Amino acid sequence: MTPIRTPTDRIFVALDLVDVDQAVAIARALAGRVGGVKIGKQFFTANGPEGVRRVAEIGLPLFLDLKFHDIPSTVGAAVRAALPMKPFMLNVHAAGGSRMMRAAAEAAATAGDARPRVLAVTVLTSLGDPELAELGMPVTLREHVTRLAVLAKSCGLDGVVCSCSELMAIRGACGQDFILVCPGIRPTWAAGDDHRRLLTPAEALALGADYLVIGRPIVKADDPAAAVARIGDEIAADLHVG
Ligand code: C5P
C-alpha cells in the first residue's frame, strides 16, 4: 500500500440508500475528500447498473459490494457483467470455494489495466462462534476467518473484507500486500448503531486496515462533507498524518 496521503483517503463511504439523486448529491459533496464510495445490495437492487453509473460518473472510485456467491460459472459471468461499471473493488463470498474464487479472479483479469480488485468476504461479521457451531463448523471463528483469507489469497484474490478484530491475524497470515477492508468503524463522536464491536478510524488504520468502510455517520449527517472533515481531524490528531 502507498502511504496515507490525506487522513480521509482510505475511507469508502457506504451509500446505503435507495434514492439515486440523494446518493449522487452525497457523492458530489464528497468528491476529492474520500477514497471512494461503496454501493451495496440495497442501492443496486433498487437502481441497477444505471443507478451505479450515475454515482460513478462523479468520479469517485467504486467498491461494488454485491457479495457474489454461486456456482463458479455464474460468479465468473456476474463479475464480467460488472466490469462495465468499472469498479475499483468488488467482492465474493469465500464460502463459495476455491473454484468459484478463481473464476471471479479470472473474470476480473479480463479487464486488463482496469481490473477490479477482487475481495473475499470470509465470515459475515454478524456471525459469531455460536452461529458457526450451529452451521456445523467445528472450528473457532478466528481459525475459520484466517483459513478462508489464506485460501482467498491462494486463489488470486486481492484481499478481504474483515472485522477490525481480525485485522492482525489476517495481516500476519496473508502478508503486507493483501488488501484489508474494514467496516464497523465509528469516530468517537458518532453513535454505534447496530455494530457489536467498534473501532475508531485511527485505531483501525493503526492496526493495518487499508480501507475503512463508513456509512451512517457520514451519509446521515446534515453535512456529509463536514462529517468527513471532522473524521479527518480525528485521524490526523491520532495518527499524526495530514
Ligand atoms: O453505516 P455503517 O458504517 O454501519 O455501514 C457499514 C457498511 O458496511 C454497510 O454497508 C454494511 O453492509 C457493510 N458491512 C460489510 N461487511 C460487514 C459488515 C458491514 O460490508 N461485515
CATH architecture of 11-239: Alpha-Beta Barrel (3.20)
Specify the residue with its C-alpha closest to ligand 1, atom 2.
Answer: 215
- Ligand 1 neighbourhood includes 122 CB (under 6 angstroms): no
- Ligand 1 neighbourhood includes 187 CB (under 6 angstroms): no
Is the separation of the CB atoms in 92 and 67 below 8 Å?
yes
Domain layout of the chain by residue ranges:
11-239
Q: Residue 1 — very low, low, confident or very high, per pLDDT cuts 50/70/90? A: low
- Ligand 1 neighbourhood includes 36 CB (under 6 angstroms): no
CA–centroid distance, 142 to ligand 1, in Å, is 19
Counting from 1 in the atom list of ligand 1, the atom nearest the Cα of 38 is 10
Q: Residue 3 — very low, low, confident or very high, per pLDDT cuts 50/70/90? A: low
CA–centroid distance, 120 to ligand 1, in Å, is 14
Counting from 1 in the atom list of ligand 1, the atom nearest the Cα of 126 is 21
Specify the residue with its C-alpha closest to ligand 1, atom 15.
Answer: 183
Residue 165: all three cell numbers together: 478484530
Could you give the percent of the chain with pLDDT greater than 90? 88
Per-residue pLDDT of 85-121, as tens digits, reads: 999 999 999 999 999 999 999 999 999 999 999 999 9
pLDDT at site 58? 98
Counting from 1 in the atom list of ligand 1, the atom nearest the Cα of 67 is 20
Per-residue pLDDT of 175-217, as tens digits, reads: 999 999 999 999 999 988 877 778 999 999 999 999 999 999 9
Compute the distance between CA of residue 213 and CA of residue 11 in angstroms, rounded to an integer.
Answer: 6
**Cβ contacts of residue 27 below 8 Å, gap of 6+?**
15, 37, 55, 58, 60
pLDDT value at 131 more than 80: yes
Compute the distance between CA of residue 1 and CA of residue 28 in angstroms, rounded to an integer.
Answer: 26
pLDDT, the chain, mean: 95
- Ligand 1 neighbourhood includes 42 CB (under 6 angstroms): no
Q: Are strands 117-121 and 62-68 parallel, antiparallel or unpaired?
A: unpaired
Name the nearest CA neighbour of 39 among 28, 30, 31, 24: 24
pLDDT value at 37 more than 80: yes
Residue 10: all three cell numbers together: 482510505
- 21: exposed, middle or buried (Cβ count in 10 Å: 0-12, 13-18, 19+): exposed
Q: How far is residue 185 from each of residues 164, 172, 198, measured CA to CA in Å?
A: 8, 21, 6
Q: Is 38 designated active site? A: no
